[in-house]
C-alpha cells in the first residue's frame, strides 16, 4: 500500500500499459483518476480496482482536447483533493515513411502522443505544486531513442515526449516534481496485437512470437511489468531519479 491516500491520474487507462498501471495504483491504495476514450474498457478497469477494495473515477476524455485534460485534473481535485502522480500512457501507433505519411496521420499521431502528454502535464502540474510535489511518468518508447523502418510520425512523437519529459524534470525540480519517461520494447497490449494483425493477418500470434524473439529475453513483455516500473518511478524509492528515459525492453536494443 505504498500509495495510500495519494491521487494518481492515468491517461490511456482503459487498456494495455495504462490499464495495468491504473489497476496497480488502485491495488496499492491510491485514488485513481482513469481517463480514456474507450468508455467500456475504462469501466472494466475501474471495476477491477473496486473489486480489489480500491477507489477511483472513470472519465471519458480525449487527451488531444485541452478542456478534457483540464477536467481530468479538476475532477481529481473535486473527488480526491488533488493530484500527486500523472502517468501519461494514451497513445496510438501509426506507420509510414515521411513520404507516404499523409498530413492527417502526422497531425493525429503528434496530437495524441505528444500534445496529449503536454496537455495532461499542463493541468496536473499546478495541482501537484499545491500538494508540495509529485511525479510524472510519460510512456514513450524505445522508438524515441532508436528506430526501425516505416514509423516516421510515431518515432517523432516519442522523441518529442522524451525531450519534453526532460524539460519538465528541469522546470519543475524546484516544485519537488520528478518526471521520467518509460521506454518499453514490445508489450502484449491491444496496440501491439493490432500491429501483429496488420503485418501478419494470417497468423498474428506467430508475429508476436517472432517479435518476442528479437528481444534478448526471448519474449514480449506483459503490461503489468511496465506498470511496476511506472509505480516505482512515482514512488519515493525513485527519489533521485528524474529526467531519465528508462529503457525496459527485455534487451531489445542492446543487440547489434
Binding of ligand NAD at residue 63 (CB under 6 A)? yes
Looking at the Cβ atoms of 44 and 175, the one nearer to ligand NAD is 44
Q: Which of 21, 186, 196, 215 binds ligand NAD (CB under 6 A)?
A: 186
* Minimal distance, residue 34 CB to ligand NAD, in Å: 10
- Is 31 one of the catalytic residues? no
Segment near ligand NAD (CB under 6 A); pick from 61-69, 127-135, 168-176, 232-240:
61-69
Should residue 231 be labelled a site residue for ligand NAD when binding is judged by CB under 6 A? no
Q: Min. distance of Cβ 117 from ligand NAD in angstroms?
A: 9
If one asks whether residue 233 binds ligand NAD (CB under 6 A), the answer comes out as no
Judged by CB under 6 A, the residue of 21, 109, 180, 189 near ligand NAD is: 189
DSSP string, the chain: -TTTT-EEEEETTTSHHHHHHHHHHHHTT-EEEEEES-HHHHHHHHHHHHHTT-EEEEEE--TT-HHHHHHHHHHHHHHHS---EEEE-------B-TTT--HHHHHHHHIIIIIHHHHHHHHHHHHHHHHT-EEEEEE--GGGTS--TTBHHHHHHHHHHHHHHHHHHHHTGGGTEEEEEEEES-B-SHHHHHHHHHH-SS-HHHHHHHHHHHSTTSSPBPHHHHHHHHHHHHSGGGTT--S-EEEESTTSTT--
Q: Is 71 in the site for ligand NAD (CB under 6 A)?
A: no
Least CB distance to ligand NAD at residue 176 (A)? 26
18 binds ligand NAD (CB under 6 A): yes
Taking the least distance from each CB to ligand NAD, the nearer of 77 and 191 is: 191
Do the Cβ atoms of 96 and 150 come closer than 8 Å?
A: yes
Catalytic residues, which ones? 154
Residues near ligand NAD, by CB under 6 A: 11-12, 14-18, 36-38, 62-64, 89-92, 112, 139, 141, 184, 186-187, 189-192
Amino acid at each position: 500500500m505504498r500509495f495510500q491516500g495519494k491521487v494518481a491520474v492515468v491517461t490511456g487507462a482503459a487498456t494495455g500499459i495504462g490499464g495495468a498501471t491504473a489497476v496497480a495504483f488502485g491495488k496499492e491504495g491510491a485514488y485513481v483518476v482513469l481517463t480514456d476514450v474507450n468508455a467500456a474498457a475504462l469501466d472494466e478497469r475501474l471495476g477491477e480496482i473496486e473489486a480489489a477494495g480500491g477507489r477511483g473515477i472513470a472519465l471519458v476524455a480525449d487527451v488531444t482536447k485541452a478542456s478534457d485534460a483540464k477536467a481530468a485534473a479538476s475532477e481529481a481535485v473535486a473527488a480526491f483533493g488533488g493530484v500527486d502522480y500523472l502517468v501519461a500512457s494514451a497513445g496510438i501507433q501509426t506507420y509510414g515513411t515521411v513520404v507516404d505519411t499523409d498530413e492527417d496521420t502526422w497531425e493525429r499521431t503528434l496530437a495524441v502522443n505528444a500534445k496529449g502528454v503536454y496537455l495532461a502535464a499542463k493541468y496536473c502540474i499546478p495541482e501537484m505544486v499545491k500538494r508540495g510535489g509529485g511525479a510524472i511518468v510519460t510512456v514513450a518508447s524505445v522508438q524515441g531513442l532508436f528506430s526501425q523502418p516505416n514509423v516516421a510520425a510515431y518515432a517523432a512523437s516519442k522523441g518529442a515526449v522524451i525531450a519534453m519529459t526532460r524539460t519538465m524534470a528541469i522546470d519543475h525540480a524546484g516544485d519537488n516534481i520528478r518526471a521520467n519517461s518509460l521506454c518499453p520494447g514490445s508489450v502484449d497490449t491491444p496496440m501491439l496485437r493490432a500491429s501483429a494483425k496488420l503485418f501478419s493477418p494470417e497468423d498474428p500470434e506467430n508475429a508476436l512470437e517472432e517479435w518476442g524473439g528479437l528481444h534478448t529475453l526471448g519474449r514480449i513483455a506483459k503490461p503489468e511489468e511496465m506498470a511496476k516500473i511506472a509505480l516505482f518511478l512515482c514512488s519515493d524509492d525513485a527519489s533521485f531519479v528524474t529526467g531519465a528515459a528508462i529503457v525496459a525492453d527485455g534487451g531489445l536494443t542492446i543487440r547489434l
